[in-house]
Structure 1
Amino acid sequence: MRSRPFIAVAALVAALLVLGAATVIYDRGRQDTIAEGVTVGGVDVGGLKHDAAAAKLRRAILEPLRQTIVVDHGNQRWRLTAREARVTTNLDATVDEALARSRKGNVLQRSYRGLTGGKVDARLQPEVTFSDAAVIRLLDRVRRSVNRPAMNATIKFAVSGPQTTPSHEGLAVDATQLHRKVNAALVSPTAQRRMSAATHHVKPKVSDGDLEKQYDTALIVNREAFKLTVYKRLKPVKSYSVAIGTVGRDTPAGLYKIQNKAVDPAWTKPNSDWVPKDQRGDVVPGGDPANPLKARWLGIFDGAGIHGIDPSEYGSIGHAASHGCVRMRIPDVEDLYPRVPVGAPIFIA
């Protein structure tokens, strides 16, 4: 007959074997069950089996991700479908990972956790992928419809005066910001699927004010009317009667700039048929009675310029009488001279 200690030990061993077997059976019965405390993309899947968790995640994550993204600006709309964006996610693989995390620890630890309501702290994020090329195509559609270039102010000289075209601001989509918003919406089931395209104004490189500064002073010579008009900030401020070149020695037409200026300029006799050959190249000092460039000189082009004339020739004003220069009365050219800087444009029509 066996002793009582032996029987007690045998009973204990048997109980442990039964408990171990029960623990193994319990653990195996939960191997397809996700532990409490596990979330996927913020969705609680604790206590669910694989297929039930996958179904819950499809409803909570995949279905929202399949909704079309809409971008608007004013009354315009642009759409990007999940199919066009090629949105995909690895939900099944993430559920497998959730199960793997649930099996963390040994059989005793898992069973104890399950029996006592313990949790596994596992916050998993499914991987969502999409085609960035499709997003770029969406952005390009938006930009083509919304963007407009800035228009610079322009100027064209005419006999009637400077003709200006005003500048206009442009408009541009904030493409970088929109790109980020669309990308965020494509991977987040809780993000807004409709968004507005923000824009910003684009300033022109040349504004109306810039044009006025650039052409602070301009001259226009109307050969037909024998008038020279001074413009300040594109507005006429004073006109003078002038003489211009005779036929065959015409004052050159076109747009030029004042090249140089001089008070009581010296005159170099030109190599022209109206100057005796033996005198061509001779220099007549300023102030000399024989110098035809009286008082002031404003050079224009190829020896032609604006200058005063002897009072005895004032009768030529209002006629084609010069060798190509623009002639003025001495008081007029003295009045004009300080008004015009070197580099000022002069349009001769």
Structure 2
Amino acid sequence: MGRKTQVAIIAIVVLLLGGAVAAYAYDGAQKDTIADGVTVAGVDLSGMNSEEATQALTNQVLAPQRKPVTVTFRKQKFRLPAKQLKIRANVQQAVDQALEESRSGSLPTRVFREITGGEVQATVPVKVSYSQKAVNQFVKKVADGIVQEPVDASVAAGPDSLSVVKSKNGYKLRDNLLTEQLNKLLDSGQGTRTLVAKVNVTKPSVTTAEVAEKYPTYLTLDRSTYTLTLWKNLNKVKSYTVAVGQQGLETPAGTYSIQDKQVDPVWTVPNSAWAGDMAGEVVPGGTAENPLKARWMGIFDGAGIHGTDDTGSLGSAASHGCVRIAIPDVIDLYDRVDVGTPIYIG
């Protein structure tokens, strides 16, 4: 082998060794740099060192998780502070894994990739941890704040009026769904921090449209005007002039119902001072001595609606607590009401 050949070989070896040393040195300089194409939790960390990557992930992944979560339902708002959730994220571990992914492949492969602008196709997740107990407690708080029992439609009665109190739907939080939504939001850290609560709707037993069917017949008594009014399907049908209890023996105010109905009722005289010598006696129905004429509709504790032949007392406070009404009127009314018909006395 000639000297020139030897020199050439040595030169090539030196060049190769120099290139290897240079490549090794270059590769070593890149060991704390994340390769192009590496993402962590959707954040592109290409070309960043460990400190830069940690800061980027803290800003883009952890910082949003530190914002409160809000759940709304109509005009209500429920707030879950991040402090209660005790949110943690393995940011540093994810950065270390990103650096490890960047070092994948042999030295020549890495150097060639860097020189030619190649990428490492790697996606690294960030594991977020939080207090599930805090989530569950928050969901219960929302559930308790939203829950509403259904309210049946009803009737608000006055001495000479009836009005419908509208029904209301009931609401119950779909708590399992809200728990799933919160967990998904906290696990991903993505999306809006405001959720709209979903509920199951419970219908009332009696809706506003059905309330008239529930009260096909209603009676109201205005003691100040001595007027008994008959209502059908919440519409005023007929009014009757009556007598009510005198002072000290007033017809009882309140809401009652027709307890019983009788034709030509027997009168059991009350053991009261006003009854005199007749106290405790039983007077047969349909007799002249019996003041309960023609029909009886019991209301409360011995008080009721009955016919009277003392028509001069009508339009006054003259009875011993009962509601007196003219005989033709009591017969007319008797056939229009059933046992259980409500009566409001005001």
C-alpha change, 1:178 and 1:248, in structure 2 (3 Å) is closer
The secondary structure found in structure 2 opposite 1:93 is helix
8 Å CA contact retained: 2:27, 2:111: no
Alignment length (residue pairs): 320
Match of 1:225 in 2: 225
Partner SS state of residue 229, structure 2: strand
2:340 aligns to what?
343
Q: Tell me, which stretches of 5 or more residues in structure 2 are unaligned?
A: 1-16
Q: Percent identity?
A: 40
User: What residue is the counterpart of 1:300 in the other structure?
Assistant: 299
Structure 2 match to 1:11? none
Q: Secondary structure at the match of 2:291?
A: coil
- Give me the TM-score of the superposition, normalised by structure 2: 0.62
- 2:242 match: 242
**Separation (CA, whole Å) in 1 of partners of 2:250 and 2:168:** 40
Identify the residue that residue 261 of structure 1 maps to in structure 2.
261
List gaps (5 residues or longer) in structure 1. 1-17
One-letter identity of the residue aligned with 1:301: F
For residues 161 and 184 of structure 2, the distance between their equivalents in structure 1, rounded to whole angstroms, comes to: 56
**Structure 1 residue 276 corresponds to structure 2 residue 277:** yes
Q: Is this contact kept in 2: 1:268–1:283, CA < 8 A?
A: yes
Q: Residue 266 of structure 2 contacts residue 290 of structure 2 at CA under 8 Å; is this kept in 1?
A: yes
Greater CA deviation, 24-33 or 325-334?
Answer: 24-33
**2:120 aligned with 1:124, yes or no?**
no
Matched, 1:326 2:309: no
Distance 1:89 1:32 in 2: 21
Instruction: Report the AA paired with residue 258 of structure 1.
Output: I
Q: Which moved more, 1:232-241 or 1:126-135?
A: 126-135
Equivalent position SS for 2:335: helix
TM-score (norm 1): 0.62
* 8 A Cα contact 2:292 2:307, kept in partner: yes
C-alpha displacement at 1:69, in angstroms? 7.8
Report Cα offsets for 1:73-117 as digits up to 9, x if no partner. 99999999978977653322212233445667xxxx644754676
Q: Structure 1 129/297 Cα, relative in aligned 2: closer, same or farther at 3 Å?
A: same
Which piece of structure 1 moves more, 222-231 or 172-181? Answer: 172-181
2:13: which partner in 1? none
Which of 307, 314, 319 is the equivalent residue of 1:317?
Answer: 314
Aligned to 1:3: none
- 1:184–1:191 CA contact under 8 A, matched in 2: no
- Note closer, same or farther for the CA distance 1:199–1:188 as it changes in structure 2 (3 Å cut): closer
Q: Distance in 1 between matches of 2:66 and 2:312?
A: 90
Q: How far, CA to CA, are the matches of 2:246 and 2:57 in structure 1?
A: 94
Query: Residue 227 of structure 1: CA displacement?
Result: 2.0
- Provide the C-alpha distance between the structure 1 equivalents of 2:250 and 2:51, rounded to a whole number of angstroms: 97
Partner SS state of residue 343, structure 1:
coil
Distance in 2 of aligned mates of 1:78 and 1:267: 65
CA RMSD of aligned residues (A): 5.6
Secondary structure, counterpart of 1:339 in structure 2: coil
Name which of structure 1's ranges 121-130 and 178-187 shifts more when overlaid on structure 2.
178-187
CA change 1:130–1:255 in 2 (3 A) is same
Q: State the shift of 1:307 in Å.
A: 1.4
What is the match of residue 89 of structure 1? 89
Does the aligned pair in 1 maintain the 2:69–2:81 contact within 8 Å?
yes
- Cα distance in 2 for partners of 1:294, 1:204 equals 47
CA distance in 2 between counterparts of 1:178 and 1:35 reads 39
Distance change >3 Å, CA 230–CA 203, structure 1 → 2: farther
